Structure 1
Amino acid sequence: MDDNVDSAESLAEVLALAGHKVWTAHDGPNALREVQSHLPEIILLDIGLPRMDGYEVARRVRQIPNLGTTTLIAMTGYGQEEDRRKSQEAGFNHHLVKPVDLNEVRRLLGSIPLSEQRN
C-alpha cells in the first residue's frame, strides 16, 4: 500500500512475477478495505498515506480478527529512530526505509513463514 502509484504498481508487478498474490491501494481507507477483503499474511505499507496514515492503518489491522499473525512491513521515507519506534508501537514487525532495495524485500519476504491455512 503506497500513495506513489507508479512505485506501488512496479513493486506489485515484481512480487507477482515472483509468485506472490498482490493487491494494491493508494490511501489508508482503501488499504483497510483491501486488507479486510483478502486477509493477507504480509502487508507492505507506506506510513505517509493520504486520508489515514500507515500508523493508523497498522493499528486498525491489528484489531481485525484473523489478522493477528499478519506481518506488517513499513516501507517509508521516515527512517529516524523515533520513526522506527512509532512504527513498532503501531504494530509493524519490520521497518524499511525508501528507497528500498528490492533484494532486501525479497530476502525479508523469504524469511517470513507463511500459514498453510490462509491463501
Structure 2
Amino acid sequence: MTSKSKSILIVDDNVDAAESLGEFLKVSGHKVEVTFDGATAVQTAGKLRPDVVILDIGMPRMNGYEVARSLRSDAGLAHTILVAVTGYAQEKDRSRAQESGFDYHFAKPIDIPRLVDVLNRAG
C-alpha cells in the first residue's frame, strides 16, 4: 500500500479519530505516534522529528495554526510535511492553513486515498 514507511505524528483532540487513523496507518506499515493537544504535539515533534505531522486545526488552548507555526520555526523540522485535517474547509481556511505552514489541507472526514497518495509521494 505504501512505497516507504514514514514516521507520522497524529495530533487531534478527538481521541477516537486520532487513534483510528493511527491504527490504519500502523497497519499500512508506518511508525505512528498519537497526541491529543498542541503543546504535547510541539514537544513530541521536537523529539521524534517525524516525516509527517497530521494535525487537527480546531483544538482548544493551542490550535493547529499555532502548532504549525511553532513546528515551522524549528529548523530540525524543516522537511517535515504538515497536513491539516479540519472541519474548516472554506477557501479562506485553506489560505490560512497555507500561511501557517501547512503543506496539505484535508477537510473532515479525511479522504483516506488522498492521504495515502500524499504519504506515498512524501520524501
Q: Superposed, which structure 2 residues align to 1:67-78 within 5 Å?
A: 67-78=77-88
Secondary structure in structure 2 of the residue aligned to 1:43: strand
Secondary structure in structure 2 of the residue aligned to 1:49: coil
Secondary structure in structure 2 of the residue aligned to 1:75: strand
Amino acid in the other structure paired with 2:88 = Y
Q: Superposed, which structure 2 residues align to 1:12-51 within 5 Å?
A: 12-51=22-61
Which residue is equivalent to 1:62? 72
Give the structure with the larger strand fraction: 2
Deviations 1:17-37 (A, max 9, x none): 111111111111011111112
Give the TM-score normalised by the residue count of structure 1: 0.92
Identical pairs, percent? 47
Match of 1:88 among 98, 105, 117: 98
RMSD: 0.8
Which runs of 5 or more structure 2 residues have no equivalent in the other structure? 1-10
Q: Superposed, which structure 2 residues align to 1:88-107 within 5 Å?
A: 88-107=98-117
Contact 2:46 2:77 in 1 (8 A): no
Q: Distance in 2 between matches of 1:77 and 1:13?
A: 21
Which residue is equivalent to 1:116? none
Which runs of 5 or more structure 1 residues have no equivalent in the other structure? 114-119
Q: Displacement of 1:65 after TM fit?
A: 2.3
Q: Distance in 2 between matches of 1:91 and 1:101?
A: 21
Give the TM-score normalised by the residue count of structure 2: 0.89
Moved over 2 A (4+): none
